[in-house]
A = this chain, B = another copy of it.
Amino acid sequence: MSQKRSDDVEKQPLPWRERWYEIIFEADTPAGKLFDVLLLIAILLSVFVVMLESVSSVYQANKNLIDGTEWFFTILFTIEYVARIVSARRPFRYIFSFYGVVDILSILPTYLTLLVLFDFEVDTLTRLTVVRALRLLRVFRVFKLTHMLSEATALRQAIWASRAKVAVFITFVVIAVVIVGSAMHLIEGQNNPGFKSIPQSMYWAIVTMTTVGYGDTAPTTITGKTVASFMMILGYCFIIIPTGIVSAELSQAVRNKVTTQVCPECMAEGHDLDATHCKYCGARL
């Protein structure tokens, strides 16, 4: 992404655009911080309204209020979206970035609902189902919260760095789930409806191995309970190993925050970032 795209020339920084950019995209100035806090409140309130809407008793009693609030937030986020495009230094890059897609997905469903209600030539039931699904898409607004997270970078890097190990871990979990699921289908499948097919047994195996344990499906035979017991202890041990691996990996990452400087006199390494003299021989670094 370091190369400019031909259709995305960096715009001349006009004074007002520069000011908007600072307010909307940055959080260093008081105005930028205020914008972020107001946006945070707007996101949380709008997600809360979408939730309330799904509680039919609440929606029936406050139909107008909820619909009005919904439109208020949609127009607010539309203004925010336009302002972001106008003030962004490279509008197209913003539009096609993760945040840009999240921002458009936060406002589009409400407008689409309108289209569906008035234009489509479909029967009422289908229309309502589509509207219902579209309305729920608005909870994607919750992703706008990620705008707020500067710390998320560290977490994302940590997850990314341990992706290979997590993949191995998940592969082992999948293998265990398939094998135990099939075994339990063979053992319990005759009499216990929860183990009637392998996919159902695998669902039980996942519920058990992650220690969720709903209890809607549980082994009833002695053999089944014995196999389940071994699987639980296995699952319990399983969580320890990858936790240790990630922890060790991260410890290493944190520790390696030393300069690569070598003392010119005694050649010692591992100096702190703020050191100006070798801590072993006292020579100037």
Contact = CB atoms under 8 A, between A and B. Distances in A.
Contacts of A143: 175
Interface stretch (A10-18, A48-56, A119-127): A48-56
Given A243-B246, A255-B252, A282-B282, A197 B268 contact: no
A273 interface: yes
Given A54-B198, A229-B203, A280-B280, A236 B250 contact: no
Interface stretch (A67-75, A92-100, A132-140): A132-140
B237 A244 contact: no
A26 B47 CA distance: 50
Nearest to A208: B212
Interface in A159-217: 159, 162, 164-175, 178-179, 182-183, 185-186, 196-200, 202-203, 206-208, 210-216
A63 to B, nearest CB: 15
A42 interface: no
A82 interface: no
Interface stretch (A1-9, A27-35, A110-118, A144-152): A144-152
Interface string A263-284: 0001111111111111111111
A251 interface: yes
A247 interface: yes
In this complex, the member of A151, A233, A240 whose beta carbon has the largest number of chain B beta carbons within 10 angstroms is A240
A277 B277 contact: yes
A232 B207 contact: yes
A213 B143 CA distance: 26
Most buried by B among A55, A236, A271: A236
A199 B51 contact: yes
Given A173-B233, A210-B235, A241 B149 contact: no
A244 B133 CA distance: 38
A85 interface: no
Given A136-B182, A211-B212, 13 more contacts: A54-B198, A55-B198, A139-B178, A151-B164, A206-B233, A213-B214, A214-B215, A247-B251, A266-B266, A276-B282, A277-B278, A278-B282, A282-B282
What are the nearest 6 A-B pairs in CB distance?
Answer: A277-B282, A244-B246, A212-B213, A248-B250, A214-B215, A275-B279
13 contacts: A132-B186, A139-B178, A145-B171, A149-B168, A159-B241, A166-B237, A206-B232, A215-B216, A236-B239, A247-B250, A268-B280, A275-B280, A277-B282
